[in-house]
Structure 1
Amino acid sequence: MKELFNQLSYGLNASEITNKNKQLIRELLTCDIIKFYKNKYYLKNGFTFGKIDISANGTGFLESFDDAFKRDLLIENKNLKGANYADIVVAKLLPIKKKRPSAKVALILKRAHKTSLVMTKKYGEAILGINIQTGLTCALKASQKSLKVLPLGTILKIENHDNNITEVIGHIDDDFVDEKISLALFNKNAIFDNLCENEARAYGNEVDASMYPSRKDLRNLNFCTIDPIDAKDFDDAIYYDKNEHAIYIAIADVSAYVHAYSAIDKEARSRGFSIYFPHIAIPMLPRSLSENICSLKPNEDRLAFCFKISLDQNNEVIKEELFEAIINSKRRFNYDEVDEYLQTHEDLGVINWLYEVFKITQNLRKKRLKNACEFKTQELRMTLDKNNKLIKTRLENDTASHNLIEDCMLLANKAAAKLINIGVFRNHLSPDYKKIDQLLADLSTLSIDINPKNNIIELFKDIQILANELNIREEVDKLIIKAQKKAEYSSENAGHFGLGFDKYTHFTSPIRRYSDLILHRLLKAKINNDEKMFNYLLLNIQNTCEELSLLEREADKVAWHFMDRKFARWAKENVGKRFKALVIENQSSLQVKLNDEIKGALITIIGSNANLLENVEVEITEVDIVGAKIFGKITKHFSLERNQNV
């Protein structure tokens, strides 16, 4: 939409209107928002495009696509005209009566969501719905008699355009409703329809190698998989040939089963990514594929798309070969096992090559980090009991086994990116200097004073050195990551700043990422010299990449929202209690994260001040279960735990 706004601002040639925008142009003409002049369409004066945000009191704020507006435009509730949070709209500017520019919604261009979730609540004698995301109330398209049959606190899905009830989700007091709420808020579905399920089951449970005579038969090679202990699907397997000094990276050949525009493919594309909750995964593909015939299970013949990466004696890549194969993984490891073996050097029999691969990947990592940064990040893990209640959390660090697999996958991803000039790339642009300036300002409050540098990677490394000395490396790494842009998918290569790669893509997880599945199809067309198929697969590829970037962020939001709901329920039972926490935000609002027996819960602090990354004690004062928000107050300030040698 931003691109369309820019085109209309300067004049959009009638011949350049895409099929996707033809209906929209007609609507804009009908509403007298654009005009036609000398074969071009122009946006009329006094209109702008933008994205709506809505505050808890119902006031709207428009983030305009026009850079001339330095502040959001104020839109009073009466002028929203049915627009909801994150909708993209055309707004008409209103005469300036106050200091802040204001506008009213003229047309809703694109709804962020077709539906919303509301909770029934009694206001006087009427039953209304309170929006779970915005807190705004609305009249529901149902009789009061039927609404009063439902217990107050019932969660309903409604259509945004008319408030019609489409589904009863459950009750707010039910711990098992959280998963349904998190999925429904972002229009995600845990269930596959019968067409998809039947199509997936048709492939059976076993691979008959005789049906694939053209594939390389690598079943005699001692591949293994290394994954989390609770993993259900296995995307990748590795093997090292000592004599050839070559690493094999075999990836589940999902494209052999999921064909373009099939029922499964359409569903996978709409999902984009698998979603991971603490207790269950919502897969991108039906489980009969993701956890069975596609998964590289031990001692089972499986189809794979495989890279053979040959190295010289200095561990420099000298040859990269890509081919379709059949493998039979000889062992399934989890990360904890491998970490232990790397310490004890226990005899692993036919998988003893693992120790040599570890040395090689350590060397590769050392070379790579000369032009990139390594961040000490931790993954929050949550454990639920049988009643779906939060019982504990832990922070999981990357370990030697994680690094081993990561560097093998990076080899394959880099090799795949070299084979295409247009397709699906994973780009990560360098940070904006405004964000770097803000980062340096934040760091100066932590006694980290760094002079700016043109080489941002060197700047980050200088910051990390001082953070190590002050014993706050992990916290500072989070600030550095926050200052960077998000990685995105694009049809054209723009490099990957964070990894220090000129060209990069995602090849290694087609079971859980649709981007990788598209890439596999493109690469098969490429190695088979099928130019017609390659170009066919490229149709609307940039739009697809943009959609995937949005779907990726949505998948993350669903997982985070679920954890926020679990934290809120836990906090409700601990109102009045005090816990240790760390200040992670102190500008627009004061936010802390619990760092006690329960870790990671975000708490909004009311009526207190604190420094960034300050250790504090907080008391939980209030919990909003509906909005999944926790509020508290600071009861004690602790000094930062500095390194005693400083």
Structure 2
Amino acid sequence: MKEFLNSLLTGVDDKFIKVDEREILRVLETIKAVSKHKNKYYLNDGYICGKLDISSGGTGFLMPYDRRFKQDIIIENKNINGAHFGDIILAKLTNSKKARLHATVIAVLVMANETSVVYTKKFGMAIMGVNITNGLSIPLKASQKSLKTLPLGTVLKINNLDNDITEVLGTLDDPQVDEKISLAIYNKKDKFTKTCENEASSFGDSVDKSMYKERVDLTHLPFCTIDPIDAKDFDDAIYFDKENRVIYVAIADVSEYVAAYSALDKEAKFRGFSIYFPHKSVPMLPRSLSENICSLNPDCDRLAFVFKISLDSELNAVNEELFEAVIHSKKRFSYDEVDEILALKKQTDKEIQSWILPLFEITKKLKINRLKNGFDFRSKELRMTIDEGGHILATRFENETPSHALIEDCMLLANKAAAKRINRGVFRNHAPADLKKINLLLDDLALLGIEMVYESDLVSLIAKIQQKADEIGIREDVDKLIIKAQKRAEYSSSPNGHFGLGFDLYTHFTSPIRRYSDLILHRLLKANLANNKKLFDYLLLDIENTCTKLNELEREADRVAWDFMDRKFARWAMQNIDKTFQCYISETGNQTVAKLDDELKGARIFLENYNCPLLTKVIVKIKDVDLGSAKIIGKVIEKLDV
């Protein structure tokens, strides 16, 4: 939508306007914000489009799409006219003698969210709703009499059009409400419609391979899966033919069960990604698919989409055959079990043991080759354990182990192979960091004693930074800063390479149970295999917008998981007011943020009136907690010399 609204500045030809854009255009025509000249539509002078931000004080700030505006534009609260945080709006510039430009909201063109989450709070004699994401208080479409029957702190989901209450989620003081809040903020759903559930369960529980005679029968090969110990769905299985140096990467054939434009497909497209909480997952597909007939469970036949990748003596992929198959996973391993096998501390099935050890040696060499152009970041993923009451039991960082590396390089081979087969579709691109971010990184590194001079070869520069960090023993901390300076990897319909991995072509093929991007790709690859150009082109309809939406949904899925953990940390902090903990500074700028680095790790603590370099170790006292926003406020009482 941003591209369309921007293009109105230079004129949009009537014949190139898409369906969803035409709906917006009708709104703009109705309020006379656009004019038509020689079959082209232009935005009239004085109007401006952009995204709305709203401060905690209620003042709006329009971030214009028009690049001629170098600053955001102020919209006073009285001129917001019912628009919400994150909405794409049309505003009209107003006459003002003030230094900053001011505007009034004329129309909401695209709502960021159809709903909001609020909790009830008393203001004087009135009960109002306080928006959980921005702290703004709003009147609710309900009588004061009915609102007063609810306990204060009741969490409500409301319709953004008229502030009508659509659902009562629970109360703020109940830990079980956290999951509902995190999902509701981003309009995510846990349950599926009956239509989706019926469609999913219609495929049954088992695969009869005699019904799939056109598929390659690989059920005689000893495939295995390697996943976290608590995994419920298994996207991928591997097998290595060591005599011929051939790696088989078998991926759950979800597209066999989820047809394009079916009810299941529409729901999967709406969700985009599975969401993972510490205690459960919210799957993209119903569990009768994601944890059953689609999942490559052990000891049963399953449909798979397989890459058979042959390597030469230099470990280059010389043949990458793709086909539909039936496999029979012989073993379900956890990462820990495979680590013990690789360390020769544990024996397993002899047939699997015979190939998994030589495969590990192959993948170690593949990684060495890959890192000549890509990067190895020692980042750790935070894991949280919660009890049945919804409180934190413990946190830990999950380190990459040999088993993780083995699986990763097998999946990378398959993803690269898939990307080579199409020139348009769904690619995973990662652009190099821009000059501004690299210069900020170099400034931060200088404070840590790493003096580096900018060079245009970023691969070489980052390698040198990591080498210096290794020498002084702060590699993990420095990798955090390098990752922070990177751009985010994104989906696109055209290939632009993956900077972080050092690949010219890359896509996501290996997780169709939990990523819609991979499901689309599977359909495109099948059309390509069948030489069905008509179907291939049909599947590509509106692919640019689909990729844009996938990027948004991916960020939302991450935010839901982070918001949930923030809420658990906030409840923990409520029990630890005025206690002190060791932290390190993780963010500086408008607000300094410390990360908890004590027995419990990972909580963000917002510091008032404190500035110091990134990664500085400090002792922080917890001063206050806002359960609604899940915000922990702290004060530095000691700076540690380390």
TM-score (norm 1): 0.98
Letter in 2 for 1:180: K
Give me the whole-angstrom Cα distance separating, in 2, the residues matched to 1:479 and 1:390. Answer: 28
The corresponding residue for 2:590 is 588
Structure 1, residues 364-415: CA drift from partner, whole Å, max 9, x if none? Answer: 1000000011100000000101101011100111111101000000000000
Deviation for aligned residue 1:250: 0.2
What is the RMSD computed on CA atoms of the aligned residues? 1.0
Give me the whole-angstrom Cα distance separating, in 2, the residues matched to 1:379 and 1:359. Answer: 25
The corresponding residue for 1:255 is 255
Deviation for aligned residue 1:30: 1.6
Deviation for aligned residue 1:325: 0.4
Q: Any residues of structure 2 matched to 1:64-213 within 5 Å, and which? A: 64-213=64-213
Give me the whole-angstrom Cα distance separating, in 2, the residues matched to 1:40 and 1:534. Answer: 32
Letter in 2 for 1:283: P
SS in 2 for 1:178: helix
SS in 2 for 1:344: coil
The corresponding residue for 1:288 is 288
The corresponding residue for 1:610 is 612
Give me the whole-angstrom Cα distance separating, in 2, the residues matched to 1:182 and 1:203. Answer: 32
The corresponding residue for 1:463 is 465
SS in 1 for 2:326: strand
Moved more, 267-276 or 54-63: 54-63
Letter in 1 for 2:623: T
Unmatched runs of 5 consecutive residues or more in structure 2: none
Letter in 2 for 1:593: K
Structure 1, residues 336-369: CA drift from partner, whole Å, max 9, x if none? Answer: 1111111126443110110111000000100000
Structure 1, residues 426-462: CA drift from partner, whole Å, max 9, x if none? Answer: 1111111111111112212222111111111111111
The corresponding residue for 1:643 is none
Letter in 1 for 2:341: Y
The corresponding residue for 1:492 is 494
Deviation for aligned residue 1:493: 0.8
Give me the whole-angstrom Cα distance separating, in 1, the residues matched to 2:203 and 2:297. Answer: 16
Letter in 2 for 1:64: P
Letter in 1 for 2:209: A
Deviation for aligned residue 1:113: 0.3
The corresponding residue for 2:3 is 3
The corresponding residue for 2:27 is 27
Structure 1, residues 123-169: CA drift from partner, whole Å, max 9, x if none? Answer: 22211111111111111111111111111111111111110111111
Give me the whole-angstrom Cα distance separating, in 2, the residues matched to 1:80 and 1:311. Answer: 61
Q: Any residues of structure 2 matched to 1:189-338 within 5 Å, and which? A: 189-338=189-338
Give me the whole-angstrom Cα distance separating, in 1, the residues matched to 2:213 and 2:72. Answer: 62
Give me the whole-angstrom Cα distance separating, in 1, the residues matched to 2:163 and 2:473. Answer: 53
Give me the whole-angstrom Cα distance separating, in 1, the residues matched to 2:346 and 2:621. Answer: 48
Structure 1, residues 76-107: CA drift from partner, whole Å, max 9, x if none? Answer: 11111111111111121222422222222121
SS in 2 for 1:310: strand
SS in 2 for 1:370: coil
2:528 to 526, 529, 532: 526
Give me the whole-angstrom Cα distance separating, in 1, the residues matched to 2:25 and 2:315. Answer: 56
Unmatched runs of 5 consecutive residues or more in structure 1: 641-646
Deviation for aligned residue 1:183: 0.3
SS in 1 for 2:373: coil
SS in 2 for 1:191: coil
Give me the whole-angstrom Cα distance separating, in 2, the residues matched to 1:470 and 1:635. Answer: 27
Give me the whole-angstrom Cα distance separating, in 2, the residues matched to 1:488 and 1:473. Answer: 26
SS in 2 for 1:214: coil
Q: How many residues align?
A: 640
Structure 1, residues 481-532: CA drift from partner, whole Å, max 9, x if none? Answer: 1111111111111111111110100000000000000100111111111112
Q: Any residues of structure 2 matched to 1:416-495 within 5 Å, and which? A: 416-495=418-497
SS in 1 for 2:289: helix
Give me the whole-angstrom Cα distance separating, in 2, the residues matched to 1:541 and 1:471. Answer: 46
Letter in 2 for 1:170: G
Deviation for aligned residue 1:15: 2.0
1:384 to 378, 383, 386: 386
Structure 1, residues 235-289: CA drift from partner, whole Å, max 9, x if none? Answer: 0000001122100000000011111111111101100000000000000000000
Moved more, 15-24 or 110-119: 15-24
> Structure 1 segments of 4 or more deviating over 4 A?
none
SS in 1 for 2:219: coil
The corresponding residue for 2:416 is 414
Give me the whole-angstrom Cα distance separating, in 2, the residues matched to 1:224 and 1:374. Answer: 26
Contact kept in structure 1, 2:242 and 2:359, CA below 8 Å: no
Give me the whole-angstrom Cα distance separating, in 2, the residues matched to 1:470 and 1:105. Answer: 54
Deviation for aligned residue 1:609: 2.7
Give me the whole-angstrom Cα distance separating, in 1, the residues matched to 2:194 and 2:59. Answer: 43
SS in 2 for 1:395: strand
Moved more, 438-447 or 191-200: 438-447
SS in 2 for 1:292: helix
Moved more, 415-424 or 468-477: 468-477
SS in 1 for 2:9: helix
Give me the whole-angstrom Cα distance separating, in 1, the residues matched to 2:58 and 2:338. Answer: 53
Give me the whole-angstrom Cα distance separating, in 2, the residues matched to 1:93 and 1:51. Answer: 15
Answering whether residue 503 of structure 2 is matched by residue 501 of structure 1, we say yes
Contact kept in structure 1, 2:234 and 2:296, CA below 8 Å: yes
The corresponding residue for 1:628 is 630
1:358 to 352, 356, 360: 360
Letter in 2 for 1:261: Y
Give me the whole-angstrom Cα distance separating, in 1, the residues matched to 2:67 and 2:504. Answer: 30
Identity %: 58
Letter in 1 for 2:561: A
SS in 1 for 2:269: helix
Give me the whole-angstrom Cα distance separating, in 1, the residues matched to 2:482 and 2:404. Answer: 22
The corresponding residue for 1:36 is 36
Letter in 2 for 1:11: G
SS in 1 for 2:636: strand
The corresponding residue for 1:600 is 602
CA 1:347 to 1:392, structure 2 compared with 1: closer, same or farther past 3 Å?
A: closer
Letter in 1 for 2:42: Y
SS in 1 for 2:8: helix
Give me the whole-angstrom Cα distance separating, in 1, the residues matched to 2:610 and 2:493. Answer: 47
Structure 1, residues 39-63: CA drift from partner, whole Å, max 9, x if none? Answer: 2211112222111111111111111
SS in 1 for 2:220: coil
TM-score (norm 2): 0.98
